[in-house]
């Protein structure tokens, strides 16, 4: 299996730090961004396998970032993360192109399972 490179885009430092630590322990290569524009810059300069994207961020929302990602990388899997969980939010994210959706707070095991599922689906398609 080739190295999986995950980009975490979240304005909360603690979330980025915890996810980076947990994902590196699983053998993933991790990149981080504190904002939507910063995440788009990382995406433009790196080969990324999957994105973990926060919904609510200052300046540029996760939905806006997702729309921009899908313009250039429509097949790139994006897992939407939010503490503002609602059916309309989930539907909006999925309509725009999110591959999966997870509500904060979440257990790291649930997120890891979601990542594996998304990557397995991508490999078999």
Q: Name residue, tokens 């304005």.
A: 11
- Residue 77 falls inside a structural domain: yes
Q: State the chain's maximal CA–CA distance in angstroms.
A: 37
Rounded distance between C-alpha atoms, residue 35 and residue 10, angstroms: 6
Count structural domains, the chain: 1
Query: Does residue 69 register a pLDDT over 70?
Result: yes
Cβ count near 65 (within 10 Å): 27
| Tokens standing for residue 121 | 């689906």
SS3 (DSSP) at 116: helix
What is the model's pLDDT at position 1?
A: 44
Q: Give 31-41 pLDDT, tens digit per residue.
A: 999 999 999 99
0.85 surpassed by pTM: yes
Order of strands, edge to edge, in the sheet holding 100-103?
Answer: 29-33, 5-9, 50-54, 78-82, 100-103
- Supply φ then ψ for residue 9, to 5 degrees: -120, 105
Model pLDDT, residue 83: 75
The more confident residue out of 78 and 103 is 78
- Give residue 105's pLDDT: 82
Write the CATH number for 80: 3.40.50.2300
The domain in which residue 30 lies consists of 5-110
The answer to the question of residue 119 being in a domain is no
């Amino acid at each position: 299996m080739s190295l999986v490179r995950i980009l975490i885009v979240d304005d909360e430092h603690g979330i980025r730090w915890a996810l980076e630590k947990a994902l590196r322990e699983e053998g993933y290569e991790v990149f981080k961004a504190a904002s939507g524009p910063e995440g788009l810059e990382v995406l433009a300069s790196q080969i990324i396998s999957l994105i973990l994207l926060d919904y609510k961020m200052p300046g540029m929302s996760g939905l806006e970032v997702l729309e921009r990602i899908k313009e250039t990388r429509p097949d790139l899997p994006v897992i939407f993360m939010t503490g503002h969980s609602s059916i309309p939010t989930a539907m909006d994210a999925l309509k725009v192109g999110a591959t999966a959706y997870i509500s904060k707070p979440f257990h790291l095991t649930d997120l890891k399972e979601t990542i594996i599922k998304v990557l397995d689906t991508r490999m078999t398609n």
